[in-house]
Amino acid sequence: MEILTASAAELGRAIDARELEPLAVTQAYLDAVAQSPVADGIYARLTRERALEEAGAASKRAAAGDRLGPLDGVPVSWKDLFDTAGVATEAGSRLLAGRVPQDDCEVLRRAGAAGMVCLGKTHMSELAFSGLGINPVTATPPNRYDPDRAPGGSSSGAAASVALDLAPIAIGSDTGGSVRIPAAWNGLVGLKTTHGVISTEGVVPLAGSFDTVGPLCRTVEDAALMFEILSAHRVNLEHPTSLPFARLLVCETTMLEDCEPEPLRGFEQAVARLEDAGAKIERRPIEELVPLAELSPVLYPYEAYQYWAEAIERSPDAMFAPILDRFRSGRSVSATQYELAHHKMMELRQACADKTERFDAVIAPTVPVAPPKVEPLLADPDRFGEVNLMALRNTRLVNMLGCCALTLPTGVDAAGIMFIAGPNREEHLLQLGMAAEMALSL
């Protein structure tokens, strides 16, 4: 088995069969990071000593036949907004330079309790407030397909660590698309979980009512195993959803509008394969998504600026200008405007749920645009803002709907297909994702 390209589940099975030893697996990844010419643009910092200590303990458990679970001894990278005891956690911003938490965040503790090995912290969009993954303040990780293009954000380094074989699995956060965009743009599986299903205790916040935690990985099986660990919810993948019985809705309102050719080609190609495998596809508009999308400029900037205003206004020059501008757009939003927008969002959320309840999932292009070139966006802040909002359009609607979602590769580079299911339906979504993954890989 080639360690660096194996899925997390495959590594776990090889450890269980004593074909691989956890310490050797971790050392292989640490060596790969040390030898990679792009690793400094992916990892903000390694936790080498911790990784070797945790891998050594996992090796002893494996030798004794006393493993803690299927991913015991498997390394994982962490986005740099997950608190790590004694290690800087700076969320891609000079505003948090030198911030060293005393304790691990809850999800890192859960992963450790399952025997997983902490490799290090990955670069990200500044304070997680961009879907592009471009961060001149710290680093912009490379895109798997073209290093001159944006990697997707805000979990940019998380995606790059897996896509470029420097971690078997990564943990990111998703407030408006921050797991799914970089997963789609780097040919990975990404799971956006239901708000509140996985703890955000000890996670640097952006917008508390939308922040979620989820994995970026190579397979749906890996996503399911990681979801189990982080949420303590059991997922049965022994009986994946049968595609001939699956009912899928293509949303023709908003999510398909103004899609660029390659993302649209990838999506339609994937839809055709799902249909060939027996899935029942319907196409219809969901008109409520139009007014829902119009609420995002009120909801997101208001929450983000309310939390970060003091730190931002103390040192505004420390920030990347387009991100600073996006935060400051929340200054003009009043509490009353926010409350009215939130109330309207909940009404539209229920209306959309009523329209889609008979479907197993709504499907859409994960991102309606292909990864843009980085340099032109750095040279044009207005264009940066426009492209950023377009990249976030489809994924952000899912957060506003309160749903869970899964993005899968389509076979077209940097183009993903997103499966959207109702709140707390992760097990169903992952079962469907297993069946879809098999159909799309044929």
Distance between CA atoms of residues 70 and 386, nearest Å:
43
The residue annotated as part of the active site, out of 79, 125, 156, 296, is 79
How far is residue 97 CA from its own chain's centroid?
24
Range 222-225, long-range pairs (CB < 8 A, 24+ positions): 222/7, 222/8, 222/9, 222/168, 222/169, 222/189, 223/189, 223/190, 223/191, 223/406, 223/430, 223/433, 224/430, 224/434, 225/8, 225/9, 225/12, 225/70, 225/71
Q: How far is CA 336 from CA 42, 327, 340, 342, in A?
A: 41, 18, 6, 10
Residue of 178, 192, 231, 296 with catalytic role: 178
The answer to whether 173 is a known catalytic residue is no
Q: Is 334 a catalytic residue?
A: no
Looking at 77, 154, 155, 156, which residue is catalytic? 154
Q: Determine whether 315 is an active site residue.
A: no
CA distance 22 to 76: 12
Length of the chain: 442
Q: Say whether the peptide bond before residue 154 is cis (omega within 30 degrees of 0).
A: yes
User: Which residues sit opposite 172 in a β-bridge?
Assistant: 214
User: How far is the CA of 206 from the CAs of 107, 154, 211, in angstroms?
Assistant: 17, 11, 7
Catalytic residues: 79, 154, 178
